[in-house]
Amino acid sequence: MLFKPENASGPETPPSRRGGALLPAACRNQAKGSRTYPNPELLTYHSGTFMKAAGGRGERRRTPYNTPMRIFLYGISALSWWLSAPATPGEGNRVGQNALRNCKPDAATIQYLAHCCPQIPRPYHVTVSARMKRCPDEVAPHRSQFKLVGRPFCRVASGIYAPCPELCFVQVANNLNLHELVKVGNALCGTFFIDPKTRNGLGKRRPLTSVQRIRAFIGRNPGILGAKPARRALGLMVDGAASPPEAFLAMALGLPYRFGGYQLPGIAANRRIKPSSKARAIAHRNTLVPDILCESSRLDIEYDSNTEHASAAQLTRDAQKRLALEADGYKVITVTARQIGSQGEMRKIAEQSRRRMGTRLRPQSAAFRQQQSALFRMGWSLSRYHRREWLEGAPEPVAPASPCPTPADALTAPGRALRCPAAPTRWPLSDAGTFSGLKSTTLEPNSPEIEGSASPGITPRGNTPEM
Task: Give the pLDDT confidence of 164-184 residue by residue, as tens digits.
Answer: 999 999 999 999 999 999 999
State if pTM tops 0.95.
no
Does position 297 have pLDDT exceeding 60, yes or no?
Answer: yes
CA nearest 241: which of 200, 278, 190, 207?
190
Does position 245 have pLDDT exceeding 50, yes or no?
Answer: yes
Sign of CA dihedral 96, 98, 104, 109: negative
Q: What is the pLDDT of residue 144?
A: 76
Q: Is residue 24 within 8 Å of residue 43, measured between CB atoms?
A: yes
Count of CB atoms situated within 10 Å of the CB of 381: 11
Does position 352 have pLDDT exceeding 80, yes or no?
Answer: yes
Find the range with the poorest average confidence among 128-132, 255-259, 387-391.
128-132
List, in sequence order, every beta strand (DSSP E) within 242-342: 267-269, 292-294, 299-304, 331-336
Higher-confidence position of 156 and 52? 156
Tell me what percent of the residues of the chain surpass a pLDDT of 90: 50
Of 42-51, 225-234, 312-321, 417-426, highest mean pLDDT = 225-234
Q: What is the pLDDT of residue 63?
A: 41
Q: Is 436 exposed, middle or buried (0-12, 13-18, 19+ CB in 10 A)?
A: exposed
Banded model confidence at residue 70, pLDDT cuts 50, 70, 90: confident
Q: What is the pLDDT of residue 90?
A: 87
Q: What is the pLDDT of residue 146?
A: 86
Does position 437 have pLDDT exceeding 60, yes or no?
Answer: no
Q: What is the pLDDT of residue 395?
A: 56
Kindly state the DSSP code that residue 4 receives in the 8-state scheme: -
> What is the full DSSP assignment across 419-462?
PPPPPPS------TTSPTT--SS---TT-GGGTT-SS---PPTT
Banded model confidence at residue 138, pLDDT cuts 50, 70, 90: confident
> What is the full DSSP assignment across 190-208?
SSEEE-TTSSSSEEE---S
Task: Give the pLDDT confidence of 189-218 residue by residue, as tens digits.
Answer: 999 999 999 988 999 999 999 999 999 999
- Outline where 255-398 has alpha helix (H): 277-283, 312-327, 337-340, 343-357, 368-378, 388-391
Q: What is the pLDDT of residue 447?
A: 32
Q: Which amino acid is at 445?
A: P
Report the chain's mean pLDDT, rounded to a whole number: 75
Higher-confidence position of 462 and 344? 344
Mean per-residue pLDDT for 414-440?
33
- Residues in CB range of 146: below 8 A, 6 or more apart: 221, 223, 224, 225, 466, 467
Separation of alpha carbons 141 and 108, rounded Å: 16
Q: 3-state DSSP call for residue 386?
A: coil
Count of CB atoms situated within 10 Å of the CB of 165: 24
CA nearest 176: which of 74, 75, 72?
75
Find the range with the poorest average confidence among 37-46, 157-166, 294-303, 313-322.
37-46
Cα-atom radius of gyration of the chain, to the nearest Å?
A: 25
